[in-house]
Amino acid sequence: MRLSEALRVALRALSANKMRSVLTMLGIIIGVGAVITLLSVGRGVERYVTNQFQSIGSNLLFVVPGQLSSSGSPRATASLNRSTLTMSDVEALRDPARTPDVIAVAPELTRFTSVSAGKRDALPQVGGVEPAYAAVRNWKIAAGRFITPEDVIGHARVAVIGQSVVNKLFPDNEPVANQTIKINDIPFRVIGVLEKRGGSGFGDEDNQIFVPITTAQSRLFPSRTTSGDYRVSVIYAQATSEERMDDAADQIAQVLRETHNITYSNDDDFTVISQADLISIFGQITGVLTLFLGAIAGISLLVGGIGIMNIMLVSVTERTREIGIRKAVGAKRRDVLVQFLLEAVVLSLIGGFVGIALGALGAFLVSKLQSDFQTYVTLDSIVLATGFSAAVGLFFGIYPATRAARLNPIDALRYE
C-alpha cells in the first residue's frame, strides 16, 4: 500500500470517531502546549537576567572584600568595618602602567540607612561614590545633575536619588530639585534624580541614593583603617573591551596582591568577579530551571501517549474483522502495521500542531501579564515538542499496530 493511500485511510478511520479522536489528542495538545509555554517562559527568564546584568554597565569587573570558595560561598565575611579594600587600592588600580586593560575605576562605600523628608521616611541603599561611577555603572540622570569632582573635594552634603526614593519621600509630584532630605539625621540637598531602572539581580536599583564618597566616609559611615586610610565596600573596574576582561582581572588581582602584601593567590583577601561570570552563573541556574519546567510538562505528553495506546488497542479490537478482510484479499502484515502506526502518529502530530498554537498563545498571555517581561517561542522548542509528540505517537502505537498485524486472518474473519 502506498503511503498516500495509507494516510487517506488513516484520516478516514480517525474522522469516523471524531469525538474519540479529539479526546485522545487532548493529552498531546495539553502536553505540547505546556512544553512550549514553559520553555518560552524559561528562555524569557534567561534573557531577562542577561539584560539586567548587561544594563548595569559594560565590561564590568567587581572587586569585593573576602574570598569566595569554589562553591561560590564566602569564606571570609567582609563587613564594612572589616573591609579589606581601601582608597589606596583604588589609586593603585588607576595606574595605567599597572592595569593597562582597565579604563575606569569607581569605588563605592554603601550601606542601607534611614532617610527622611518631613514626616516621610524610607530605607534606601546609600552609596558614597565618585563622578566616574555614573559612567561605569551606566546610570542616567532624569533631572538635575550627578556628583561632580567639586562635590567630592568639598565633602559636599548633596544627594542624587532614585525613583523609588522619590516616590516614597515626595509622592505628591512636588519638585524634587533642591529639596532637603536627612540621611542619618544629617541634612543633604537633592541635586539630581536618577532615571528609572527597575528591579534586577541586585534588587530594586531605584531604591538608591548617591552622595560624594568623601562625605560618606567622613560624615555618614566613618570607616578609617588603623593606618588612617578610608575603606570602601566594592570597587567597580571597567575593562577596555570584552576580549580583555580576563587580562584586566589578572592585572587587578596582581596589583591588589602587591598592595596587600599577599604572596599566594589562595591567601587573597579579595575576589575579582567579572560581569560574564555573573551572567554565566545565573544562566546556568535559569537553564536548569527551564529544563526542569520542560521535564514537568513532558510528563503530560507521556500521559497523552498512554491515551493514544489505549484508544489504538480499542480500535484494533473494533476493526478485527476489517483487518481479517484486508489480509484475506492480499494485505501483508507490513501493510497492517504501517496503517495503525500511521494512525497513531497522525493523532499525535495533529495534537502537536494544535498544542504549538496553544503554547504560543500561552506564552503571549504570560508576556502581557508582566509589562517588562518578554517570553520567547524559539524554533528549537517547537521542533522539540513536535518531534517528541511524533515519537510518542510512534512509540505508543507500536504495540497496538503489532497486535493488529499479527492477527490470524481466519480468526479475524470469525470475530463478531
Q: Which residue has the higher pLDDT, 127 or 223?
A: 127
Mean pLDDT computed over every residue of the chain: 82
Residue range 57-72, pLDDT digits in tens:
668 899 988 876 544 4
Residue 226: C-alpha distances to residues 86, 229, 232 (Å)? 12, 7, 14
CA dist., res. 134 & res. 101, Å (int): 20
Cβ contact 270:233 at 8 Å:
no
- Using DSSP, state whether 158 is helix, strand or coil: strand
Q: Which residue has the higher pLDDT, 321 or 57?
A: 321
H or E segment to which residue 311 belongs: helix 275-318
Region class of 2: left (phi > 0), else alpha (psi between -120 and 50), else beta: beta
CA dist., res. 63 & res. 254, Å (int): 12
- Position 180 scores a pLDDT of 93
Residue range 264-308, pLDDT digits in tens:
777 788 888 887 777 777 777 777 777 777 777 777 777 778 888
CA dist., res. 109 & res. 128, Å (int): 5
Cβ contact 86:289 at 8 Å:
no
The owner of cell 555573573 is: 278
CA dist., res. 297 & res. 31, Å (int): 6
CA dist., res. 176 & res. 147, Å (int): 16
Q: Which three cell numbers stand for residue 12?
A: 478516514
Q: Which three cell numbers stand for residue 235?
A: 570597587
Q: Is pLDDT at 119 greater than 60 in this prediction?
A: yes
Cβ contact 347:24 at 8 Å:
yes
- Position 76 scores a pLDDT of 42
Q: Which three cell numbers stand for residue 189?
A: 540637598
- Position 72 scores a pLDDT of 46
- Position 171 scores a pLDDT of 86
Strands 270-274 and 60-65: antiparallel
The owner of cell 562553591 is: 71
Strands 186-194 and 208-212: unpaired
Residue range 222-273, pLDDT digits in tens:
878 888 889 999 999 999 888 888 899 999 999 999 998 888 777 788 888 8
CA dist., res. 22 & res. 316, Å (int): 18
Residue range 376-399, pLDDT digits in tens:
888 877 887 778 777 877 787 787
Q: Is 368 exposed, middle or buried (0-12, 13-18, 19+ CB in 10 A)?
A: exposed
